[in-house]
Structure 1
């Protein structure tokens, strides 16, 4: 079976892996001239289904629960299983209680335990929540490693002008995100910073709750930290705005004053495709299967969506589908 995967973001790479491991001859076509530069490139890489349940449907938790295991198997050595720490300033203690009431899989930690978990945060926060079963990875390392593994498996990659392929395939998997022709999609802009400082050491992602601009900080190697992210209803791909920069830096400084002296080594913005309910879709139309709407959960939900797309391609029975009832009703009307 010959399958063309359109798009080399996280959805396309995970779909290619699921198809290739099932024996398909896979070609990946990406219109940009290299790997990266899309919304996946600016992701936080948090595999945090229990935390995401605070603002997402139960479906996100159910689909994302096994994501860390998938990435561990596909990209060995890149997943860090240290959990997620959620904290709030004393004046925002109500935000912490609200977060706890909307999530599961956590336990409350006091000031002493916070100091044991993250010594550099000692004395900064009195209460927090630890989600011990969550994990994280560096998205850029993961995408590069998955690309290399796919190439070693015989997957054929075409970038830039060479990506104009179309005929001669049994199936196509559309993973083009915002470039897809789908009037249900909207863009949600996420802005992020990468800071570098040797004066802060974190072992796990830390979420700082705030009524107006909550943020997360994800440790990377070489004393780098990914700080994000805004959620703006916009399809603009322009640079990070001054307002967002101020809020992100202010929140990072609130987490630890040493971030005030950190170097800003990168800023970036990605537009994440989302359906009206913020849930993903895998939908089949003839020989084409579309994966889209991963919203802010790309690395968390892509493995489950990729598995479902592969099952559709290899199904000899009635096609499978993951879609909300509202969409089924719309198509049957």
Structure 2
């Protein structure tokens, strides 16, 4: 068996890596990681318990093994957990998040200060998800890409992982736009992603090292790609100031936006059509769910298993 994977975003690279690790000859038809792929703009949070607050049970269940998979590929993974906070006026939002999620413990102000000294005195309570992790998406994509062969042709079994570009074959695929700001703020240090439950703009801040942070949160029902809107940037930065006023003096390094591929229920799909296998629809769970979907695709090819995410109406 030989395989051609079309698409070099997180889905395509994970599928190709999983197949190659099982001894199956595979080549990727793509130019390599870059800003044209939505995974380039990802936060890189491996947070199955936090995502379980609003996502289907399958997201948490399949996301629990993501950190181990990435680490097994030689990708640096920071296993420092996730901190979820709210301003005092939004205390009810924190309680609601606690009720709808698992895998956390409640911290008081002293516990927050022990984990993140630069947040000392800013929040009365927080949820700490100790078993979550994060990675640098661009570094992760580069590590996988560098080990894979490239091709300009298509041969053998074709696996289509083109993301939103695959709407020519997957008519029910839609775009969910996400926007981000990359900043440098040496005045504060964070050891883990922090989520702020803000009423207008729920925010996550992900440390990238050397005083660099990624701010993101937006989820807009839109397939528009390209730069973020001024409103989105202002709201992201405003929410960042609410987390810590030092972010007002941060240096803006980069602005980015793209449209994530998603199906109506926001769960991924594996479909067979005309001899082609499609793996798509990671929604906002790209780095969290791509390893599990890649394993399902590989098992299907090797052992003819029926993946949990295979859509019976389309195979």
- 1:96 is aligned to 94
Q: Secondary structure at the match of 2:171?
A: coil
Equivalent residues of 1:281, 1:291 under 8 A apart: yes
Equivalent position of 2:63 in the other structure:
64
Residue 20 of structure 1 is matched in structure 2 by: 20
RMSD: 1.4
**How do 1:215-294 and structure 2 match up within 5 A?**
215-285=203-273, 287-294=275-282
Tell me what 1:157 maps to.
150
**Cα distance in structure 2, aligned partners of 1:282 and 1:300:** 16
1 CA distance for matches of 2:299 and 2:307? 10
State the alpha-carbon separation in 2 of the partners of residues 41 and 290 from structure 1.
21
Equivalent residues of 1:283, 1:321 under 8 A apart = no
What SS does structure 2 have at the residue aligned with 1:220? strand
Give the equivalent residue in structure 2 for 1:175.
Answer: 161
**Residues 7-34 of structure 1: per-residue CA shift (max 9 Å, x gap):** 010001110111001111111001xx44
Equivalent residues in 2 for 1:117-196, closer than 5 Å: 117-148=115-146, 150=147, 155-158=148-151, 163=152, 165-166=153-154, 168-169=155-156, 171-180=157-166, 181-196=169-184
Instruction: Give the TM-score normalised by structure 1.
Output: 0.91
Between 282-291 and 58-67, the greater mean CA deviation after superposition: 282-291
Unpaired runs of 5+ residues, structure 1, are none
SS in 2 for 1:70: helix
The answer for unaligned runs of 5 or more in structure 2 is none
Cα offset, 1:331, TM superposition: 4.5
Q: CA contact under 8 A between 1:284 and 1:321: conserved in structure 2?
A: no
Distance in 2 (CA, whole Å) between partners of 1:303 and 1:321 is 13
* Residues 8, 32 of structure 2: 8 Å contact kept: no
Q: Give the aligned length.
A: 312
